[in-house]
């Protein structure tokens, strides 16, 4: 009888652990700079686009264009100049995974 209770308790604990949502990964270095202008909430109306869930290749292309001066900007050009290609790719991948 005790063995059955232990098995049931372990099964219940295992099921609750497996059902728990995974914690979102920590944002990569530099991603916090984006949240000052880009809204996290989809319900916020702003001319600055929301980044969460966007195509990562598109974000990489746009960030590189800002960084390299191929796209006009007031703030983004200065911010993007501080990022290397691997940093841009990591930020884009992280934002693409956010919902």
Q: What is the CATH number of the domain that holds 75?
A: 1.10.760.10
Residue 42 within a domain = yes
**Is the Cβ–Cβ distance between 72 and 80 less than 8 Å?**
no
| pLDDT, position 41 | 85
Confidence band for 25, pLDDT divided at 50, 70 and 90? confident
Residue 73 within a domain = yes
**Is the Cβ–Cβ distance between 51 and 34 less than 8 Å?**
yes
Residue 4 within a domain = no
Residue 9 within a domain = no
Over 90: is that where the pLDDT of 7 sits? no
Rounded distance, CA 75 to CA 91, Å? 17
Q: What is the pTM of this model?
A: 0.73
| pLDDT, position 42 | 84
Structurally, the chain folds into a number of domains equal to 1
Better pLDDT: 24 or 16: 24
**Which token pair is 7?**
């098995």
């Amino acid at each position: 009888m005790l063995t059955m209770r232990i098995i049931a308790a372990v099964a219940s604990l295992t099921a609750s652990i497996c059902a728990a949502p995974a914690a979102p990964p920590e944002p990569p270095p530099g991603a916090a700079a984006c949240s000052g202008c880009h809204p996290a909430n989809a319900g916020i109306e702003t001319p600055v686009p929301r980044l969460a869930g966007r195509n990562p290749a598109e974000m990489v292309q746009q960030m590189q264009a800002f960084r390299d001066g191929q796209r006009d900007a007031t703030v983004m050009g200065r911010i993007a100049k501080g990022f290397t290609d691997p940093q841009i790719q990591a930020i884009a991948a992280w934002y693409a995974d956010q919902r």
